Amino acid sequence: MIKFYHTNGEYGFLSNFSRHSIVVDGLSWPTVEHYFQGMKFPSEPERQDRIRRAPTPKDAKAIAWEEGGSPRSDWDEVRDEVMLAGLRAKFTQHPKLKTALLETGDQELAEHT
């Protein structure tokens, strides 16, 4: 099993916090984490934009958790699809990451938090 967490580790590229931008539906997001947090608020374009422009993935997450708003009502149903879209974007838009991911073979990957 490959366990990853910190972005500076050997498998840090697997982290949603790794600094690899993605483009989804014509919008550029600095990290998968930015995208994931932003997709919680499709009916709040100002908040979503603040998340997208946050300087770090940690800041993006903090904005998503701020008081005064709540994630979309179907979030529990769509969250896995949103994550999959972000990860597909990351590993198809960055060929070196795709190669590194494929080199992990059949090993199980787990975020070690």
The rounded distance, in Å, linking the Cα atoms of 14 and 2 is 10
Domain membership of residue 39 (yes or no) is yes
- Domain for residue 97, yes or no? yes
pTM greater than the 0.85 cutoff: yes
Q: Which amino acid is at 109?
A: L
* β pairing state of 27-29 and 2-4: unpaired
pLDDT band at 74 (very low <50, low <70, confident <90, very high): very high
> Within a domain: residue 14?
no
Q: Could you tell me what percent of the chain has a pLDDT over 90?
A: 95
pLDDT at residue 29 in the model: 98
Is position 8 within any domain? no
Number of domains composing the chain: 1
Which residues span the domain enclosing 90?
21-105
CATH number of the domain to which 74 belongs:
1.10.357.40
CA distances from 113 to 37, 70, 74, 96 (A): 18, 25, 26, 25
Kindly state the average pLDDT of the residues 53-81.
93
Within a domain: residue 4?
no
